[in-house]
Amino acid sequence: MEDFQVLIGQMINQAFDLGVSDAKVLKASLLPVDEKFAGFCKEPPCPSYGRSKSCPPHVMGPVKFRNYLQKFLWVLVFKFDVPWDVLLSNDRRGVSRVIHETAATLEIMARESGVEQAKGFAGGSCKEAFCMEHVQCLALSPEKTCRFPNASRQSMSGLGVDFKKLSVLAGWQMDTGIPKDPIPDSTGLMAGCVLLG
Ligand code: SF4
């Protein structure tokens, strides 16, 4: 347990080194999951729906994810505060890439430290973040191999994670929706997480 607490501290330090605005550890059982958010991937359809191995309908979905969560005691959650003008522009892709890379790096760190079942997830689709220029997700092709195995992770939305409730739990301020006319310098957030044993 002592070693685990040391690892948690190291992971949080690493998250801040990677540029997160905040990172903390919560009980995994508290991670809020709601079917309706996975439904939003399908209707209205996200451009990545069905086009990535890490997005619906190719991921386990909210019901199975709730059961899957029971295997874990803790979840490290992190967020990046990002100006709305970036989030509402094509530059969002770059931010999404950073979220995925951060989740993947922290997951790999936990696994290399002995938490073999550690599993990272990221806000946003890896198709949009990494493979927009490619017609096909390589992991869905006969090759069945992701182009970015050490950087991309499954979409949290596709699993039904409720980011608003998660923000409340983590003590993060989050507006209720995407502003039509964002106030200059105002920020939204993008988040990721790593499930830990
Ligand atoms: S190849 Fe990997 S990164 Fe690209 S869309 Fe498929 S799962 Fe995502």
Mean pLDDT of the chain, nearest integer: 94
Q: Is residue 72 part of a domain?
A: yes
Q: What are phi and psi of 195, to 5 degrees?
A: -80, 140
User: CA–CA separation, 69 vs 25, rounded Å?
Assistant: 14
Q: Is residue 102 part of a domain?
A: yes
Copy the structure tokens of residue 136.
């096909």
Q: What are phi and psi of 12, to 5 degrees?
A: -65, -40
Count of C-beta atoms within a 10 Å radius of residue 50: 16
Count of C-beta atoms within a 10 Å radius of residue 44: 7
Q: Is residue 177 part of a domain?
A: no
User: What pLDDT sits at residue 138?
Assistant: 98
Q: Is residue 176 part of a domain?
A: no
Domain extent for 17: 2-170+186-196
pLDDT at 47 over 60: yes
Enter the DSSP assignment of 161. Answer: B
More confident call, 81 vs 197: 81
Q: What is the pTM of this model?
A: 0.94
> How many domains does one find in the chain?
1
Q: Is residue 181 part of a domain?
A: no
- Which residue has a Cα nearest atom 5 of ligand 1? 127
Copy the structure tokens of residue 92.
């969002």
Between the CA of 124 and the centroid of ligand 1 the distance, in Å, is 12
Contacts of 43 (CB under 8 A, 6+ apart): none
Contacts of 75 (CB under 8 A, 6+ apart): 25, 26, 27, 28, 30, 31, 193, 194, 195, 196
Q: Is residue 178 part of a domain?
A: no
Q: Which residues line ligand 1 (CB under 6 A)?
A: 52-54, 126-127, 130-131, 137-139, 146-148, 152
pLDDT tens readout for residues 83-137 = 999 999 999 999 999 999 999 999 999 999 999 999 999 999 999 999 999 999 9
> For a pocket test of ligand 1, which of 46, 130, 135, 136 has the largest count of ligand atoms closer than 8 A to its C-beta?
130
